[in-house]
Amino acid sequence: MNVDLVVAGSGFFGLTVAERCAAELGLRVLVLERRGHIGGNAYSEPEPETGIEVHRYGAHLFHTSNERVWEYARRFTAFTGYRHQVYSTFKGRVYPMPINLGTICAYFGRVFSPDEARALIAEQAAEVSDPANLEEKAISLIGRPLYEAFIRGYTAKQWQTDPRELPAEVIARLPVRYTFDNRYFNDTYEGLPVDGYTAWLERMADHPRIEVRLNADFFDVRDEVVGNVPVVFTGPLDRYFGYVHGELGWRTLDFETEVKETGDFQGTAVMNYADEDVPYTRIHEFRHFHPERDWYPSDRTVIMREYSRFAARDDEPYYPINTPADRDRLLAYRRLARGQDGVLFGGRLGTYKYLDMHMAIAGALSMVDNKLRPHFTEGARLVTGGVDE
């Protein structure tokens, strides 16, 4: 194999590693992607009937306070001024999310000053002092009324488990803003790529020293690669080791996409559904991510309903469940990873961590700086620290 580095996976982590190693270190990089497209879960494409850009694997919103990540991303795309806002329906009414002064005033049906709202939530949260499960933890943070309206049903659908049976650490904190600010993110920088995620990802891969092979499973060439060429592996950590310590638990998502014969279905990009008798957790309406695109049709729109469930082995893993048993398995796999000379593990699947896009890029830049550059320029041994972020 006439390459200097093999990268398994073409998500933001893998492509950042490939691009930096090709552009900065002059390496010949082979990227193996098991799917028929690049970009991992960030891949987007036009819906064929309307031309509206759809995020195939659920909404992706780019935001970061990391200056280096922001400047790196802007090498490949310009960003719109999009600021993400989310709303939630409960018993036939709509409320802004995350919980803020507007949510509190609307739910309790009166005007509160910030101090009055703080006092109300503190009084209601005092019901629980030593939380033993997710429900009690949430009540200790925001009080029972807001928990029962916006968290209980949504969480039960998301986890397919009664919140009283989930550990408290699943919901370590619940943001509450005592202002009318309903921006979803607090980061310094936020926006969506002007011409879409796929165009951004394709520019990252567009380098003469990078070869991307689609529909190419790393495990089909593993024996040819490992031990002969340095590898950055961003696939499932447990699969790499043949599930010898068991499977790591994940949540997966199912999506139901529909073209609606209207120019605007819900008036916002994302609407959560907190009622437990509504089977989906939220609906995305993709035209609202790019209101500047005046070529979108005025009489049709694209929505995507999102459903959550436990992942089987053949499902796409999205969110690590991270039970105590999962953490024990992860430690066992990390010990095995430390023994893999010439193989680094990264990305969401390779580290068993949920990573936003900016976190994946930051982790990849760090891997290049601290592991790959010293190896290729100084001959340093290439070995993971267990699992690299």
Work out the widest C-alpha separation in the chain, in whole angstroms: 69
Q: How far apart are CA 146 and CA 98, in angstroms?
A: 11
Q: How far apart are CA 16 and CA 19, in angstroms?
A: 5
Q: How far apart are CA 81 and CA 58, in angstroms?
A: 20
Main-chain phi, psi angles of 377, to 5 degrees: -105, -25
Q: Which of 334, 331, 329, 337 is nearest to 231 (CA)?
A: 337
Q: How far apart are CA 63 and CA 84, in angstroms?
A: 9
- List CB contacts of 161: < 8 A, sequence separation 6 or more: none
Q: How far apart are CA 191 and CA 78, in angstroms?
A: 9
- For residue 54, the SS3 value is strand
Q: How far apart are CA 15 and CA 320, in angstroms?
A: 22
- CA-angle at 149, arms to 144 and 152, nearest 5°: 75
- For residue 24, the SS3 value is coil
- For residue 251, the SS3 value is strand
Specify whether the CB–CB gap between 101 and 117 falls below 8 A.
Answer: yes
Catalytic residues: 173, 177, 251, 282, 306, 354, 356
Q: Tell how far CA 299 is from the center of its chain.
A: 31
